[in-house]
Amino acid sequence: MSEEIQERTTGPEAAADTLKRNRQILEGDRTLWIIYAVLIVVSILVVYSSTAKMAYDITSDMTTTDSLRQQLMLVMTMSLPVIFVAHKINYTFYRRITPMAYYLFVILTVATYFVGATTNGAARWLPIGPIQFQPSEGLKIFTILMLARRMETRQSSINKLKLLPTSWRLNSPKQQKILRENTRPLLGPVILSCMVIFPAHTSSAVIIFIASVIMLYIGRASKLELFKFCLLVGIVGTLGLGMLSLVGIGRGDTAGGRLSTWITEWTTDGEKNFTYELSDTERAMIAIRNGGIMGEGAGHSSSRAVVIHPESDYAYAFFTSEYGIIAALVLMLLYLWITFRSIEICRRCNTAFPTLMTAGLGLLITCQAMLHILVQVNLIPETGQTLPLISRGGSSLLFMSLAIGMIISVSRMPIVTKKHKE
């Protein structure tokens, strides 16, 4: 008979190990540090090169140098300090602050609908002095942590739990018990986050939902219950999007228009002779084609002035146009690697919360990157999602750096697995 016992190292060797780690500036998973560094460098290159078109935009007061300086400032004063501090903090601290941080970001996200700054018809930013803050980016992170915290206490029986009521008679004691003990604690944070984000940024709600469902699957929730939950959310989400479009609230009309454009592009073969007739995604695909295998070279993209928002919404297409398909595939693999490294770190954990937190945050980053990339090749409708850690934008850069830092904080914990045979 053999059993696997997980325990922390003790004795002189552990003390020496701890002293050695304390002398290191950067601890934890080296691979994640390398991936993070590569993505930050790519971010600076993409933002600097893509914003060169500002020199020809008479309506813009910002020059290419201004844009580069701004991105460097965001990296040096915000991104790097955040990931450094986050990776030094024990993950148990994140567990303690999760409920407070989660509800704070819910409140801040709701506040954007009333006092937030509006861009392209969407109220997503809270003005804080000279900067604009996007609280929904923080809500993504703490929804994952909130779900991990709730799942942690139910690991012994989660595969047998009913996540949704089994009858329409919700007033019955049995259904009330399911709602009180299972639905509200486990699905409540996910549903609440999706509801407050959905009107202004539908795709962010989708990302939270996808990452949460995969987390529940990893956490051994019933496959049948997950299927029912996905079906219910799909129906309610479609109806909700339709209602928002009819009453003109939020981004319902925008999402509907993007879906209509996407269907039209796949079902018709219309000839377009002028650039202004092209959709944003069609321009992105032209940029990818122009890049070819090896790319047009850094700073030499012929699609810079054609692609809409090459520094944010279409950063991947612009990167491909300058560095080629091979480099673009490597970049995509780096995002997938984040999830693979997260899974590897999960295997070293001996408790549920760090395991689920690490898996969920890794999935969140990779899901957002994959949605961004799928838009560029027209496999899904336009979402407006940025490319994590690369696209221009302070809030996204801040919270993606925080997420990576949280994963690394788990990876630096001295957990050793020993096998004993009897």
Where are the chain's structural domains? 9-421
Closest by CA to 87, choosing from 47, 133, 37, 32, is 32
Structure confidence at residue 5 (pLDDT): 36
Closest by CA to 163, choosing from 212, 213, 225, is 225
Helices assigned H by DSSP within 75-134: 80-88, 91-115
Q: How many CB atoms lie within 10 A of CB 302?
A: 13
Tens of pLDDT along the chain (422 residues) come to: 334 434 444 445 555 555 555 557 888 889 999 999 999 999 988 888 877 665 555 455 666 677 778 888 888 888 999 999 999 999 999 999 999 999 999 999 998 888 766 655 555 777 776 567 788 899 999 999 999 999 988 888 888 888 888 878 878 888 888 888 888 888 999 999 998 988 778 888 889 999 999 999 988 888 998 999 999 888 887 776 666 656 555 555 555 566 666 676 666 665 665 555 677 777 888 888 888 888 888 777 777 777 777 777 888 888 888 888 999 999 999 999 999 999 999 888 888 899 999 999 999 999 999 999 998 888 887 777 889 999 887 788 899 999 999 999 999 877 533 333 33
Query: What's the gap between Cα 194 and its chain centre?
Result: 14
Token pair 């899904």 is at which residue? 380
pTM for this entry: 0.84
Q: Identify whether the C-beta of residue 219 lies closer than 8 Å to the C-beta of residue 151.
A: yes
Closest by CA to 271, choosing from 256, 282, 260, 259, is 282
Q: How far apart are CA 283 and CA 304, in angstroms?
A: 10
Q: How far apart are CA 152 and CA 96, in angstroms?
A: 13
Q: Which residues pair with 118 in a beta bridge?
A: 123
Closest by CA to 45, choosing from 352, 360, 311, 289, is 311
Structure confidence at residue 317 (pLDDT): 87
Q: Identify whether the C-beta of residue 390 lies closer than 8 Å to the C-beta of residue 39.
A: yes
Query: What's the gap between Cα 197 and its chain centre?
Result: 13
Q: How many CB atoms lie within 10 A of CB 401?
A: 27
**Cα angle 362, 200, 151; round to 5:** 35
Q: Identify whether the C-beta of residue 275 lies closer than 8 Å to the C-beta of residue 388.
A: no
Q: Identify whether the C-beta of residue 74 lies closer than 8 Å to the C-beta of residue 67.
A: no
Structure confidence at residue 20 (pLDDT): 54
Amino acid at 79: S
